Amino acid sequence: MQTLALPIFPAGEFLLQKNRFRFASPIPSTFLCASYSRKVTVDGCGEGDRMCVLGMGFSGRYIGGRLMQEREWNVSGTCRSDAKKKELNKMGIDAFLFDSTKDRLENLKSLKEATHLLLSIPPAEAGNPLFHSLEKLRDFLGNGNLRWMGYLSSTSVYGDCGGALVNEDYPANPMNESSKARLVTEKKWLSLGNQLGVSTYVFRLGGIYGPGRSAIDTLLRKKQLTSYQRMRRLKRFTARIHVADVYEAVKASFDVSKSGTYNIVDDNPASRAEVFAFARNLIEEKWAGQVLIDESREATRLDSASKAQVRKGEKRVSNVCMKTQLGVNLTFPDYKSGLLSILNSYGE
């Protein structure tokens, strides 16, 4: 049997080479920006569009890389560790250490220079710390440079909908503190954009997946599932979106002048069990004997109370507005096309 050595990274891409996996960037190789060259003025500042991403996580990093590669934008962003900062700098992203719970906005020079601002920092239970001084933030951003604001939120703000199909007009009823904080942040973000006279967008994302962060990667890592992962398997519907299509939605909004809130999900709110069964079959067809985790048996360990709890929050999420108003054509309209692309990116 082929032996695969899988290093564990938070959001990496695994490439099979000579019977082993090699870690690569979570952004496909065509979007690596370590040698990216940008226009520079005499004082060292870049020209043109400038995206600042507050919270360079999985999605923020991908979006920034694509903007640099496709549009030659200047991209900056924040992170919370020296290791992450070095990683982002190698990609060509101007990265800054920033903790939204204690650091001062004045330290973020790139924020004041930004023409586009994307917020991707997970909210604290009391709401996003950036908004504790809304007036100060408004004054800091109101210098005339900013033209666009976006916030990566979550479909979790809808709460338990009994499996109903929900669109952006459906009343939000978040069930936990994190989701409640996201809804508060949405409202403040839209209010701030309105005060600044800037086109402002809220993107309610389904579960985000992509290279290094998918059912395929979970199964190949051969780690036992967490209790939370086992619980999620029992959901009938799970909204999800490939990170490449998150980028497509963000990019499309640049050409839409009307501010608004949009669900960013694919066409198939399939269950986690269905997705993992498909991922298992893909792996077995390509690398027989590599999947050791039996997810279906893992789920049986849950007690009846846990199974009842996990059913809460059920909903199917409509993406009609994303398609008709933003004009997004999904690259990966369902989990099958997305997972197949991820598997193929890992080579033979």
Type of residue numbered 145? N
Tens-digit pLDDT string for the chain (348 aa):
444 433 333 333 333 333 333 334 344 433 333 323 344 333 333 458 999 999 999 999 999 999 999 999 999 999 999 999 999 999 999 999 988 777 777 778 888 899 999 999 888 765 677 777 777 788 888 888 999 999 999 999 999 888 889 999 999 999 888 999 999 999 999 999 999 999 999 999 999 999 999 999 988 886 666 665 666 666 778 899 999 999 999 999 999 988 999 999 999 999 988 999 999 999 999 998 887 666 655 555 555 555 555 556 688 999 999 999 999 999 999 999 999 999 999 876
Give burial (CB, 10 Å; 0-12/13-18/19+) of 86.
Answer: exposed
Q: Which of 42, 68, 38 is nearest to 53 (CA)?
A: 68
Residue ranges per domain, the chain?
A: 13-212+243-265+318-345
User: Three-state DSSP class for 326?
Assistant: coil
Pseudo-torsion of CA 201, 205, 211, 217, nearest 10°?
160
Contact 178, 237 (CB under 8 A): no
CATH dotted code for 13-212+243-265+318-345: 3.40.50.720
